[in-house]
A and B are shown apart, each in its own frame.
Chain A
Amino acid sequence: MAKALWTIALVLASSVLWLSASWAALIRVPQDHKSIQQAIDAAAPGDEVVVSPGTYKENVLIARPVLLRSSAGSSSTIIDAADKSLPAIKVDRASGVTIKGFSATGSNVAGILLTGASDVVLAECLATGNTSGIIMNRTTGSALRDNASNSNAQYGLYMEKSHNNTIERNAASLNQDKGFFISNSNSNAIIANNVNLNTWDGIMLYASTGNTVTGNKTLRNTYGLVISESPGNEVTDNTTVPNLFLILPIVLIYLGVVSYLVQKNLLKAIYKE
């Protein structure tokens, strides 16, 4: 009897799992809903919103666990902030959100703002032409992978009071202040990012502890890697000046001297000076 009950329970549980997986609806923009926000508002937790290429003039607010992705990648799917005083994309106190393959631009706050969120995955997005590219505020357990945050008026990535996040293989270039500004944020993994050509610091850790900063490239910033009032971080294998910057000019000057001597002897032979 007990065995039969266990079997029924097992079958019911697997049915519930299978049904919940198969019930995750697919909502298309603009086919099913004209705007991304309408699609998100119509989505149930766990649904997938797929956005076709185009420029969407709106401010997207996500407050439930949905998967928002573009069908053609960030180069052709652009969210341009309709209200410039709001972020182009905002994840507000939600858990389990995934955002993939968008460009976010035109905001006087941030291209992408994660606030009070957890378990967010942000991947393959581009944040450009905003005050800050990506802001994480009180966000935990999230992952930023393969994003680019370039040419913003302030920071490429600004983390404030955000803990246990993974920032991996992202790029932050040509921002007018810092590439990455990690402030009051602990136990984050900042791995294999390219943070180059920013006006001020490449990566700055301020009042943050227990972070792992490894395998990053911070080239041609005013300061590559700045750690201020931040004890207990693991900082290894980061590149601030590659060998090429030193070797190449020396090699070229040497080749210039050799080239002069070769030309001189050749011309001497021709003109028999």
Chain B
Amino acid sequence: MGAILELLNAFTNLTTLLASLGMILATSSFISGLQMVKGKGRVERKIHRGNGFIAFGIFGVLAITSFVTYGLSVWSVSGWLAGTLIIAFKLLIVHSRSRRAFKYVSWLGASLITMWLYLVYIHIPL
């Protein structure tokens, strides 16, 4: 019971809520992406793109919130930039349609999930 209350209480923090929503969308996008690699159809593509782009938008909002709240520091700019680069690299590979590069898309997807796990972790209120 205490753990459930603690869990619900965490969502009173806006950035925790946003990071959690991003994690949910990124997971949906990741699963549908894996299904697309298997050759599934248009529904998977829509889920993958829709969830992925909203998650990217939330990523941007979290980055801006972080800069506004804590200011610009080398570590924080490097961290958010690294996340943006992973997302950009993933989009670049997908749009290149090269079969050779396509092999690594699922790895990048896994990197994005790890990135969202970290985002959720740092946004859990103390």
Chain B residue at minimal CB-CB distance from A245: B124
Cβ-neighbour of A259 out of B24, B42, B43, B117 (below 8 A): B24
Stretch at the interface among B3-11, B57-65, B79-87, B88-96: B3-11
Contacts of A263 in B (CB 8 A): 28, 47, 50-51
Mark interface residues in B1-22 (1 if CB within 8 Å of A CB, else 0).
Answer: 0110011001000000000100
Quick one: which of A239-273 are within 8 Å of B by CB?
Answer: 242-245, 247-249, 251-253, 255-257, 259-260, 263-264, 267-268, 271, 273
> Do B27 and A260 have beta carbons less than 8 Å apart?
yes
> Do B43 and A264 have beta carbons less than 8 Å apart?
yes
Chain B residue at minimal CB-CB distance from A244: B6
Interface size grouping (class) on chain B: 20 to 34
Contacts of A220 in B (CB 8 A): 126
Cβ-neighbour of B126 out of A196, A243, A260 (below 8 A): A196
| B112: interface (CB < 8 Å) | no
Contacts of A112 in B (CB 8 A): none
Chain A residue at minimal CB-CB distance from B4: A247
* Minimum Cβ distance to chain B for residue A50 (Å): 34
Contacts of A260 in B (CB 8 A): 27-28, 31-32, 47
> Do B43 and A249 have beta carbons less than 8 Å apart?
no
| A217: interface (CB < 8 Å) | yes
Cβ-neighbour of A248 out of B2, B26, B28, B124 (below 8 A): B124
Cβ-neighbour of A243 out of B3, B31, B41 (below 8 A): B3
| A29: interface (CB < 8 Å) | no
Chain B residue at minimal CB-CB distance from A242: B6
Given contacts A219-B126, A220-B126, A260-B47, contact A273 B7 (CB under 8 A): no
> Do A255 and B24 have beta carbons less than 8 Å apart?
yes
Bound Cα distance A251, B23 (Å): 10
Given contacts A249-B120, A264-B47, A273-B41, contact A257 B126 (CB under 8 A): no
Which 5 A-B pairs rank lowest in CB-CB distance, beginning with the nearest? A256-B27, A260-B28, A252-B23, A267-B43, A243-B3
Chain A interface residues (CB < 8 Å from chain B) = 194, 196-197, 217, 219-220, 242-245, 247-249, 251-253, 255-257, 259-260, 263-264, 267-268, 271, 273
